Amino acid sequence: MSAVLAVVDISFALHTLCVGIKSRIDAAKALPQTANRCSRLVDQIDGMIDGCNVEDKRTRVILDNIKKAMEELDALLVKINKKIGDVEANSSGCCVCLRLASKGKDALAAEDELERTESELRAHVDALVNASLIHKHASRTSNKLSQADARRFWDEYFGEEREVSVENLAEALRHECAVAGAGVDAETCAAVCRHCFGAGGGSVTVLSFGDVFNLASIQDTMKSLAKRAKAAQRLFTIQVYDYATKRPDENVDAGFMMCRATDSLKVLRALVCGHALSLGDEESTDDDEFEFEGDEIDEGATRSDAAPPAARAKGKKPAVTADQLEAIPPEFHFLARGEFTFFLDECKTRVLRKQEKDLAGAEYLDRVVLVRDADLPESMRPVKKAKSGRRSTNASADAPGSDAGDTAFETHSQGTAPSEKDEEDTNVNADDVAEFIMRKSAEAAMEAQCTDVVTAIRVPAVLQGLRAAALKAGVPEEAVTFVVEIDQLRAAAEAIAPTSAGALSMPRLRLVKASASNVIERFMSPSSRFELPIKSDVRKETYDTVAKVAAEAEAEDPKPGLDQAMLEAFVVPFNDVVAALAPALAILRSKSERVNKVVKATNGKQHKVVVLGGGFAGSLVSYNLDNDPEKRFHVTLVDPKHYFEDVTAQPMLLCDPGADAADADGRFKKSTVPYGKVLKHGKHVTGLVASVSTTHVEVGPERFVLPFDSLVIATGSSYSSDIKVVNPSAEYRYRQLSAERAVMAQCDVVLVIGGGLVGVEIAGNVAETIMAGKEGKKVILIQAGPYLLPRVKNAHDKVLAYLTSLGVDVRLNERVVDFDDMSRLYTTNKGNVIVAGKVYRCTGAKPNTDFLKDPNTHASISNAVNDRGFVNVDKHCRLVGCDNVYAGGDILCDEMFSRTGEHVVTGERLPERIGIAAELHALIISNNIKRTLEGETRLAGCDPSKDVFGQYCMISLGKTKGLVVMNGELDKIFEGMGFASGADNAELMRDGCGLSAATPGFKDLVTGLITAGLTTDEGHAGLSGFSEGNGMYDDPLKVAPDAGGGNGDAPAP
C-alpha cells in the first residue's frame, strides 16, 4: 500500500514540475515581445509628457510618479535584455528560459515584474490624461462642477475665468432667467449673489459657485428661489400624532418653526429635522435677569446643523451626530433623524416619501401632521432605497388593479395596510436647494452686519442687539455709546475735511472742538459717572489732551491740525473700548446661525400673549394677564429695555435723578420698575420688533420668532432727543441721566425746541432746578407759533409769565431751520444763531410703528397704519380684520383719545396722547382678551362720544409750581374723592386751566400709583378702578350706577 502511495506522490510532483516548466517556457517565449512593448511605451510617454503644465500641483505629482515608474521599467528592461543576451529573436521559449535560468532569473517572475510595472505606469499615464483634461477646463468649470447645467452656465458666461465679481454673476443669472422666462427679477438675483458669495470679498470662484449651484439646474434653482423669496413666511405648528389613536401625542410638544407658504412637504421635512436640533434649549427661570433673546441657546443645537442638500445629493441620509442628539430630549430624536411620516387630515391620509416633493403650499401645510415611523405597522414603515436605485415594493404593489403610484397620496382606513411600501427619497430638487440657499443667505446677511463693532453700530437693530450683548458680556453699556459717538464724530469731520493738506477748515475745527469737548466731559472727566473699559491713565491723558487742544482752538488765528489732534486723541481709548466689546460682538455674531429661530413658550397649553412695548399700556396689560387667577396666559413682553420707566416723570427726572440708581428716596428709583417684577410668571425678551404677522412676531436683527395666540402692539412714541430711550439696563439709564444733568450744569445755554406739553415742562424744570441763580446761564424756549400750549385755551399767558419769571428766554414765532448738532450751532428763521450746550427737540412725538411697514409684516396689519404712522383700530382696540391683534397707547389713531380743548388758532379739538389714555387702552385690551378666550362676545370699548369733561392733565413747570388742565366740574369731583388739584376752582371753571403749587407733588404721587399698579395686586386694582371710571370707557357688562348703587362714572385722576 505504501508503495502505491509513493508512486502517486511521485506522479503528482512530476506533473506539477512539468506544469511549472511549461508556464516558464511560455513566459520566456513572450518575454522579448513584452520587453519590446514596454520599451516602446517608455518612448511614447517620454515624448508625451514634454510640455505638460508643471505649474499645476496635481500634474506635478503625477509626473513625478510617472518618471519614477519609467525609471523602474527602464532599469528592468535593461536587466532583462542583459540576461537574455544574444538569444536570437526566433529562438524557442525553452532557450530563453534556460538562458535566464543560467543567470539566476525566473522567466515567470520576470514577466510578472514587467507587467506589474507596465500596469503601474499606464495607471499614472491615465491619471495624467485626466489631470490634463481637468486642468484644461478648470478655469471654466472645475472638477467640482459635477452638475451639467452648472458647467454649461459657467462655460457660456465666463469661459476660462477662474473667478468673477458678484455683480457679474448676478447679471449673468438675471440674463439666464430672462432668456428662460423664469420670472426672477434683478433684485432677487443680486440678493442671492450678495448673500451667498458676499463673504468672498466681492468675487465668486468657480468652486464657491459650485457649492451653491451644483445640485440642480440653474433655471430651476432660480425659479425656486424666486418663488420662495416672494412667498409669505409662515408659522408652522409641529403636530405629532399617535397613530393608534389618531389623536395628538400629549407627550411631545415640538413647538413651532418657520417655513414658506409655498414649501413642499419634502422641504418641510428638512426644516423639521433642523428645528428638532434646537429643542434642547433651556428656559431661564431668573425673571430679574434680562434675557438676550428669551432663551439661552445651545451653541451646538441650531438650525444650521441641518444637513445641507449636498449630503442628500449623494444619496445619504442627513447625518445627525451623537453629540447633537445628546443635546436634545430623547422624545425629539426621531424628529432630528427624520424618522417620521407625514399624514394629512388627522392621520386619514398617508403621504409617501416620493410624493412629498409634489405636495406644496397651504393646501397641505394646513393639513399635515407627523407620526413616528416606529409607531406605524411594519408594512407601512419606510424602507431604505435599494442601492440599485430601484424602488422596493411588496407583492401587491404592481398587482393588477392596483392604483399605487397613480394617486397623489394614499387614503386608507385605520388598521388597513397600504398598497405600497414607503421608500426614502434621497434625491435633491431645486426646492431643497432654494431652502438651503435662503437659509444660509439670511445667516450670511446677519453675519455681515456683525463683522466688527463699527459695522454693527451702524445698523440700528444690530446696535440695539450689541447694547444687550454688552450687558450680557459684563461690558458697561456706555462703551457702546462711546464708540457710536466717536464714529459719528469721525464721519462728520470727514464730510467737511480741508480741501488740501495742511489747510485749516474753521467749520471742521468748530465741529470737532464742540463734539470732542462734549465727549470728554461726559465720558472722561473725573466727575463722570460713565464707566468705560479703559485704564485710568488713558482716560486722564485723553481728557487733558483734548481739553488743551480745544483751548488752543479758541485763539483768533488757530493753527492747522488742531482738529486732527483732537480726533487722534481718541484713537487709543476708542481701540481699547472696541477690544473690550469683542465678547459682546461674539455673542451677537453667534446669532447669525439662529435666523428665524422660534422661541418656545414655557407652557404650550396656556394662551400665548405677546406684548410689544413696555410703556404704560404694554406693562399694564402684561401685569394684568400674567396675574390671571386661573393662570390661563403665558405672557411674553418684548421691549429693548428691561425696565419700565414713567415717562411723565422725565422732565423732573432729567434735573434730579437722585443720589444713585439704588437710592430708595431718589426720583429714578421711584419711577422705574424692572420687568422681572412686572412679569412674575411670564418672560421678558430684549429687542426691537422687526415685523408682525397674524401668528407671530420677528424680533431683533436675527429675527427670532415669537408665536402668539393674542398680540398686543403698544410700542409707544419717540422724540428726536433722548427723552424716551431704549437702553437695556436701568443702571446705565441712571448714569445717562446723571451725565445729562452734568452737561446742562456745565453749559451756558440749554435750548428747548417746541412749546407744547413736554417742551414747557422741560424748560421750566431745567430753569428752576439747574440754571436758577447762575450768572450767564439760561434756557431758551423756541416756539414756531404765537402761543405756548396752543391746544390748551387760556394757558399761554399763565405759562409765559411763569416761565419768564424763572428766567426762561421764550421766543415766539421763531423756529430752528438749520441744525448743526455736532458743532452745537442752531440757526433760526430770523437769522439768529444759538450756541447751545444741550438741545431738547420737543416738537411732537413720532409713533414707533416703522416695523409695521416691514416686508414681512402681514398686509392686514400694515394696512391698518394710516399716512401719519398711527394705527387704526375699532372701539375694542382691535385691528380691523385681525381679531387676535390689539393695539394701545400712543400709536393709536386720534379717535381713541380725549381732547384737552380747542386749539387757540384753529379752533380744533385735538387729541392728547398721555398716560391716562394708555391706562384706559390697557384695561380694554386686558378685558377683551379674557372675554374672547371665554367665548364672550360683549367686549369693552372706547366711546369718544362720552368724553364729557375733556382730557385733564398735570404739567410741572419746575419743582415749585405747575399747570392744572381740568374742567372745573371735574375738579370738584376729584376734590370729593380726596385728590385736590390745588388750582383755583373758579379759575378752572372760567379758563379750564390754572397754576398750582400742588402739581409737582401730585405728579410724584401719580408716579407712585403707577409703579404700585405694576408690582402689587392692590395697586393694579386701584389703577383699573380709575380707568373703569373714565368717561370714555364703554363696557356692556358694567353694572349701571342706578342698578348697582355705585358711582360707575367716577373718572381717574
Coil, helix or strand at residue 697 = strand
Name the residue among 146, 177, 180, 140 with its Cα closest to residue 158: 140
* Residue 930 scores a pLDDT above 50: yes
CATH number of 148-229: 1.10.238
The predicted-structure confidence for 94-139, as pLDDT tens digits, reads as follows 666 666 666 666 767 777 776 777 777 677 666 666 655 444 444 4
According to DSSP, the residues that pair with 779 across neighbouring strands are 750
Coil, helix or strand at residue 671 = helix
**Distance separating alpha carbons of residues 210 and 146, to the nearest angstrom:** 8
* Residue 926 scores a pLDDT above 90: yes
Contacting residues for 76 by C-beta, under 8 A, at least 6 apart: 38, 113, 114, 117
* Residue 1044 scores a pLDDT above 80: no
Task: Express as a percent the part of the chain with pLDDT over 70.
Answer: 77
The predicted-structure confidence for 780-824, as pLDDT tens digits, reads as follows 999 999 999 998 889 999 999 999 999 999 999 999 999 888 788
Confidence at residue 1024, expressed as pLDDT on a 0 to 100 scale: 92
Name the residue among 1000, 722, 995 with its Cα closest to residue 841: 722
Query: What is the CB neighbour count within 10 angstroms for residue 49?
Result: 18
Structural domain spans, the chain? 18-138, 148-229, 233-386+406-438, 476-580
**Average pLDDT, integer, range 285-295:** 36
Handedness of CA 1030, 1033, 1034, 1036 (dihedral sign): negative
Task: Give pairs for 856-862: CB < 8 Å, separation 24+.
Answer: 856/233, 856/690, 856/691, 856/693, 856/698, 856/703, 857/691, 857/692, 857/693, 858/232, 858/692, 858/693, 858/694, 860/694, 861/692, 861/693, 861/694, 861/885
Mean pLDDT computed over every residue of the chain: 81
**Distance separating alpha carbons of residues 703 and 854, to the nearest angstrom:** 12
Contact 1000, 960 (CB under 8 A): yes
* Residue 288 scores a pLDDT above 50: no
Confidence at residue 336, expressed as pLDDT on a 0 to 100 scale: 92
Query: What is the CB neighbour count within 10 angstroms for residue 544?
Result: 13
Name the residue among 635, 646, 755, 545 with its Cα closest to residue 1008: 646
b/e code 7-37 from CB counts within 10 Å (16+ = b): eeeeeeeeeeeeeeeeebbebbbebbebbee
Q: What is the largest CA-CA distance in the chain?
A: 151
DSSP character for 202? T
Confidence at residue 400, expressed as pLDDT on a 0 to 100 scale: 35
Confidence at residue 407, expressed as pLDDT on a 0 to 100 scale: 38
* Residue 897 scores a pLDDT above 80: yes
Angle at the Cα of 132 from the Cα atoms of 129 and 133, rounded to 5 degrees? 90
**Distance separating alpha carbons of residues 290 and 638, to the nearest angstrom:** 11
According to DSSP, the residues that pair with 954 across neighbouring strands are 964
C-alpha grid cell for residue 780?
Answer: 431758551
Angle between helices 571-580 and 582-590 (to 10 degrees): 50
296 — pLDDT class (breaks 50, 70, 90)? very low
H or E stretch at 112: helix 107-138
The predicted-structure confidence for 953-999, as pLDDT tens digits, reads as follows 899 999 999 999 999 999 998 888 888 899 999 999 999 999 999 99
User: Alpha carbon of 247 to those of 348, 370, 938: distances in Å?
Assistant: 11, 11, 34
Hey, what's the torsion of the CAs at 644, 646, 650, 654, to 10 degrees? -40
Contact 703, 689 (CB under 8 A): no
Q: Which amino acid is at 969?
A: E
Q: Count of residues for the chain?
A: 1053
Contacting residues for 100 by C-beta, under 8 A, at least 6 apart: 28, 83, 84, 106, 107, 110
Contact 673, 665 (CB under 8 A): no
